[in-house]
Amino acid sequence: MQLSVGDNLGRYEIKAELGSGGMGTVYEAIDSTLQRKVAIKVLKPNALADSDGVERFNREAKAIAGLSHPNIISLYDFAEHDDAHYAVMEYADGTTLDECVESVNRDRAIEIAIGMANGLSAAHEGGIIHRDIKPANILLTKDGTPKLTDFGLARQETADHGQTQVGAVLGTIDYMPPEQLRDATAVDARSDLYSLAATLYQMVTGKSPRTVSYTHLRAHETRHDL
Ligand code: AMP
């Protein structure tokens, strides 16, 4: 579903298109009831794969909505309009870490990593694993606060891309730990910490934590050049 400025999605009025990613398009919008700015991610028609995917996301959305932490983008709502599912989130005025990862100095890199570790700690205490920590999922607000985004959606993306099949790994893999590359169902909180460390590596060295061998993975072939 393509939306234009001025369109309404339920009680939300579209103000601008912010960008597109693997899962869908993100818009800046105004919640007409509460009169506050929000970010809306309208998911691609097949983003949640099937009714199981929607149900899984709905279930997880409840846990994510319960997370309240300065380093996590809050999820306000998850709804459907004309067969399109959309997530309504806290609006973060700023950029993604992906856009400025080259220019982050060491002290700032440590500051961002500590913020992410704090956010992840709260998520893990709530039993939620992100599964796709990477610079593109870290928003930096104008006052410098790092915020993790795409909780739950990341999980769906992982499921959608068939990453549970050995040798069939697609999507963003540079930041994933070997066990997740082998079997996406085998992850726990430690996998997020690995991905956070890979992100910190990139901030400090300027190099991507690229996977050496990622096609047709077998246990002994999975390694990173960290
Ligand atoms: P994504 O599809 O998650 O990669 O997001 C596409 C673009 O939308 C990103 O480059 C961000 O600049 C922007 N964006 C995503 N989430 C938010 C948010 N909660 N607040 C403000 N901008 C966002």
Residue 156 pLDDT grade (very low, low, confident, very high; cuts 50, 70, 90): low
- Each residue of 170-201: pLDDT tens digit? 446 789 888 887 777 778 899 999 999 999 99
* Mean pLDDT of all residues in 89-107: 95
Q: What is the pLDDT of residue 204?
A: 95
- Residue 185, judged by CB atoms within 10 A of its CB (0-12, 13-18, 19+), counts as exposed
Catalytic site residue 107?
no
Which residue's CA is minimally distant from atom 4 of ligand 1?
A: 21
CB of 21 shorter than 6 A to ligand 1: yes
Please count the other Cβ atoms lying within 10 Å of the Cβ belonging to residue 104: 20
> What number does the ligand 1 atom closest to the CA of 92 have?
20
The answer, yes or no, to whether residue 166 has pLDDT greater than 50, is: no
- Which atom of ligand 1 is found nearest the CA of 147? 19
Element (H, E) at 178: helix 178-182
pLDDT tops 80 at residue 157: no
Complete edge-to-edge strand list for the sheet that includes strand 36-43: 8-9, 12-20, 24-31, 36-43, 84-90, 75-81
Q: Tokens for 147, please give them.
A: 């915020």
d(CA 134, ligand 1 centre) in Å: 13
pLDDT over 70 (residue 69): yes
Distance 132 CA to ligand 1 centre (A): 15
Longest distance between any two alpha carbons in the chain, whole Å: 55
